[in-house]
Amino acid sequence: MKRIKITLLLMMGGLVSACGAPIVPTNTAPFEATPLSSANAPVEAAAQAIPAAAPLTDVQVKAITITVPRSLTVSEANRYLPKGDIVWRGDPIGDRHQQVADIFDTAMTRGAQSVNGTLPVSLDITVKRFHALTEKARYSVGGVHNITFELTLRDPETGAALAETREVHADLDGFGGQQAINADAQGQTQKVRITDHLAEVIRQELTRAEGFQNPRLGFVQAMNHQQK
């Protein structure tokens, strides 16, 4: 892959930071908004170029941009279903937005590398929700890792959208109790399982016309989706 770029967009603070390994280094401008890519300039023209055809499934990813808006709320409350867009305990306490961005960067890169189509594309990923399990849920009843993101495929040279942006629901069964303890002992931590899962999700999104089909995981999943 020629270029992998991750951008953490700080909407409320006006701060944009970029990491990853693009071919051309991108300078960080910590106190002013920076475009995701210079290739995104012809946005209005690109909107008119969006085809009405079926989702593209014969692609080769040349670049990836991950955006985790700072407008997403974070909860550190140790409850079964805390309110918050981001609930994450798989890393030490810190910048949860950046931690989620890192997980998506690793997962999307891995999944994209397994796709060997013919049409060059860049991926724009915007995280909408990343609601994993709290300590209380993980070491008792378990639950559902509730993950939602938006995916846009673009021309890597012009930034023109090649298909309509689609919302992807990528939920995963969350282990609880002894099952969670056993999984941790085998190296299957929340972080490992979610990363592997998201890699498979993006692979299916890029190779199957119907994309990834979100599983039915019951009442807790429904509660998560209704929660704001």
pTM comes to: 0.74
Residue with tokens 């020629």: 2
The CA distance from 190 to 187, in Å, is: 9
- Is the predicted pLDDT of residue 61 greater than 80, yes or no? yes
Give DSSP secondary structure letters for 175-220: P-HHHHHHHHHTT--HHHHHHHHHHHHHHHHHH-TT--------HH
- How many other C-beta atoms can be found within 10 angstroms of the C-beta atom of residue 58? 12
Residue whose C-alpha is closest to residue 201's, from 75, 99, 95, 110: 110
Q: How far apart are CA 26 and CA 86, in angstroms?
A: 27
**Tokens 């495929």, located at residue:** 153
Multiple choice CATH, 4-23+54-226, 3.90.1720, 2.60.40, 3.40.50, 1.10.3470 = 3.40.50
- The token pair at 67 is 């955006």
Contact present, 120 and 159 (Cβ < 8 Å): no
pLDDT (tens digit, 9 = 90+) per residue, 14-45?
Answer: 333 333 333 222 332 232 333 333 344 444 44
User: Mind listing the pLDDT tens digit for each residue in 89-117?
Assistant: 999 999 999 999 999 999 999 999 999 99
